[in-house]
Structure 1
Amino acid sequence: MRNRFFISFGAVSLVMAAIVWASVLVVAQAPSSASAKLAASVWDPTAPPPSGWTAPRTSWGDPDLQGFWLVLSYTPLERPAALAGKPLYTTEEAVDAFKKAVALDAEVDPTTIHYDWKEYGMDAWQSPVRPNRRTSLIVDPPDGRIPPRTPEAQKRRALGCCGVGGTDVQSVGWYTRCLLGVEAAPRVPGGVTTESQIVQIPGYVMWVQESNNDVRIIPLDGRPHLPSNVRQYLGDARGHWEGNTLVVETTNFTDETKWQGSTAGMRLVERFTLADPKTLKYEFTVTDPATWTKPWTMEAPLPRIDPPLYEFACHEQNYGVINVVKGAQIRAAEGIGLSGRAPDYTTGDGK
């Protein structure tokens, strides 16, 4: 019986050599396989819907957008100057740009930057963010850049309308004070609190943001907007369906909203379309003649994520706002202003 299990040394050597060669092949092929998988996941805004796929409907017949979505992207909002005139990458270029952005993001040092991306599941290996053929999230104007600001908007920006405007806690932005989310509406992909959820019932759609638990309730029954003298931080939203796309118009913002430096007169139109089972195409156009010289539009693919949304416990150990105010007070005491340059103490006289 022992002879049946006897293998010569030569046979063992042959088997070991085969195993080693197979391992080399696997190692050699692994990067290629990973690259191929990444290339297959590239978001291509020019591609048709998946073959044989039909967008789902709710039990009452509306397009079903429900689920959890990550408002995050490695694609810059504005097109870099080096890519002027190039609205789309090739698939290979999109993968290369994605890899470079991921590598740059991974260089964040949690000892010098407050946030560690892994704490939020935002490392590239932790999230389903896809490479994008677009070279910028802005699709209009065609140059992929935010239009110039009006003279009035430039003055507001110079006065610090959107940052720290004084030396007490109330002068700090509402998000830093844990009162409202990082952005009101619309949402530009990015940041550390990017998870969201869409819930639907007959006649309404609700978009919940993890960031400070902001909630937007969107009626679909054709009711008119609120009177112009009724203002809300998140605006007054009204929605309707155009085929499989949810179109939401939001007006009646407040003077405190200041989205990207906007005024209360900003008009926002958003479009939500389920592009495939795992991707929600999110588009918006903002119009505010008092802020920008013309409207501009952004488009981003939002990947589906697993539930749930976690509690946004912003107030717990919120040392950031204390440090911001202390810094502003120190600058004021030094007489250099909130946005001035700190004195050069290397000269010995503080000048």
Structure 2
Amino acid sequence: MLLKSPIRAIVLPFSCFLTFLSLCLAAQDSDYEAPSDPWGNPDLNGIWQAMGTAHWDLETHESRAGPLWQLGAIGAIPGGVGVVEGGEIPYRTEALQTKLENQASWLELDPVVKCYMPGIPRANYMPYPFQIFQTDQNIMFTYQFASSTRNVFMNRPDYEAQILTVMGHNLGRWEGQTLVIETTDQYDWTWFDHSGNYHSEALKVTERFTAFGPNTLWYEAEIDDPEIYIRPWKISMPLYRRLEHDARLVEFKCQEFSEDILYGHLRQTEEAAAALEEVRQLDQE
């Protein structure tokens, strides 16, 4: 996909430079060793959160007006430097057209607008915190958005998924100081961001969580989906520990906020039926 905006043409090389710089910084701290949990593995327990605008668009993007003009500046979509290594997502030609259609109608089509669980990897860079609980056999991720959860089965490479799920089938292992999670068997209707970047059911996500400081994780996710992309591609970003004294996940069951989107047409139908019934009764009188 060619960059047509002069601003993006300037920002893209800068994005690549920042990605390279971030990798260098991560490499410099690669000798950091996290404290061990009771089973001798790196202790990643805690509440974490991404910063930035990846949840709006994984690629470099300009700021633009939001969907509700009444919100003014606070409702605008902020610009941001991309987190895709190499700068652009390598879509197949026909898949790119679907992505553009998604982006044009994101407010109607994006599943998280309806409070659906975000899927992987998107759950990790939503603008909400998540918490890691780890044992030697399982690692649990609990996300504030939509009260989503995922259970990572450790050291069980032959454990097969029985069904597709929104958050996928998660198999984990330790590679030194890095937690590696391979996620498959996700439904194909989750997106990667608000900009319509999407996948098929063939998606395989390989995530790597590495502590490079007491309060920072380096997060990488390789996206492999031969039905949508011409090759695998990778995103990377830091995740930060929430350090507030009383830091916790608070309940955010957002279904009630999206009821009108999900069920409004049913209520409208009932209201219309009631109105017609009232008119019918008046006619009979």
TM-score normalised over the length of structure 1: 0.55
Question: Who is 2:50 aligned against?
Answer: 71
Aligned equivalents of 1:112 and 1:70: distance in 2? Answer: 29
Preserved CA contact (<8 Å) 1:282 1:299: yes
**What are the superposed Cα offsets for residues 10-32 of structure 1, whole Å, 9 maximum, x if unpaired?**
xxxxxxxxxxxxxxxxxxxxxxx
- 1:224 counterpart = 2:154: no
Distance change in 2, residues 1:155/1:73 (3 Å):
closer
**1:138 pairs with 2:84:** yes
Q: Find the structure with the greater CA-based Rg.
A: 1
* 1:235 matches 2:215: no
> Alignment partner for residue 301 of structure 1, among 209, 230, 238?
238
* CA deviation map 1:128-176 (0-9, x unaligned): xxxx9xx63112xx3x21113342x2454467599679xxxxx865433
Aligned to 1:272: 209
Decide which of 90, 112, 118 is 2:70's aligned counterpart.
Answer: 112
Q: Post-superposition shift, 1:315?
A: 3.0
- Structure 1 unpaired stretches of 5+: 1-42, 82-103, 118-131, 166-170, 327-351
CA distance in 2, matches of 1:221, 1:163: 41
Q: 5+ unaligned residues in a row in structure 2: which ranges?
A: 1-20, 267-285
C-alpha offsets along residues 305-343 of structure 1, whole Å, 9 cap, x if unaligned?
1320010031344476279979xxxxxxxxxxxxxxxxx
Cα 1:237–1:323 shift into 2, 3 Å:
closer
- Aligned match of 1:126: none
Question: How many angstroms apart in 2 are the aligned matches of 1:264 and 1:161?
Answer: 20
Counterpart secondary structure, 2:261: helix
Give 1:224 deviation, angstroms. Answer: 1.5
Aligned residue for 1:339?
Answer: none
Query: Could you tell me which amino acid in structure 2 is paired with residue 149 of structure 1?
Result: R
The 1:116–1:316 alpha-carbon spacing in structure 2 relative to 1, beyond 3 Å, is farther
The answer to whether residue 84 in structure 2 is matched with residue 147 in structure 1 is: no
Structure 1 counterpart of 2:23, which letter?
Answer: P
CA contact (8 A) 1:56 1:64 kept: yes
RMSD in angstroms over aligned alpha carbons? 4.0
State the SS of the aligned residue for 1:112: helix
Does residue 186 of structure 2 align to residue 249 of structure 1? Answer: no
Shift in Å, 1:234: 1.4
Identity %: 26
TM-score (ref. length: structure 2): 0.67
- Partner amino acid, structure 2, of 1:249: E
Distance 2:264 2:102 in 1: 14
Residues 19-34 of structure 1: matches in 2 within 5 Å?
none
Which residue of structure 2 lines up, in the alignment, with residue 58 of structure 1? Answer: 37
- Retained in 1: the 8 A contact 2:111–2:191? no
Distance between the aligned counterparts of 1:156 and 1:136, measured in 2? 20
2:213 & 2:145 partners in 1: Cα distance? 26
Q: 1:154 to 1:324 in 2, by over 3 A?
A: farther
Match of 1:186 among 107, 121, 126: 121
Note if contact 1:78-1:137 (Cα within 8 Å) is conserved in structure 2. Answer: yes
Aligned partners of 1:295, 1:191: CA distance in 2, in Å? 22
The whole-number CA distance in structure 1 between the counterparts of 2:69 and 2:190 is: 32
- Equivalent residues, number: 232
What stretches of structure 1 move > 6 A for 4+ residues in a row? 322-326
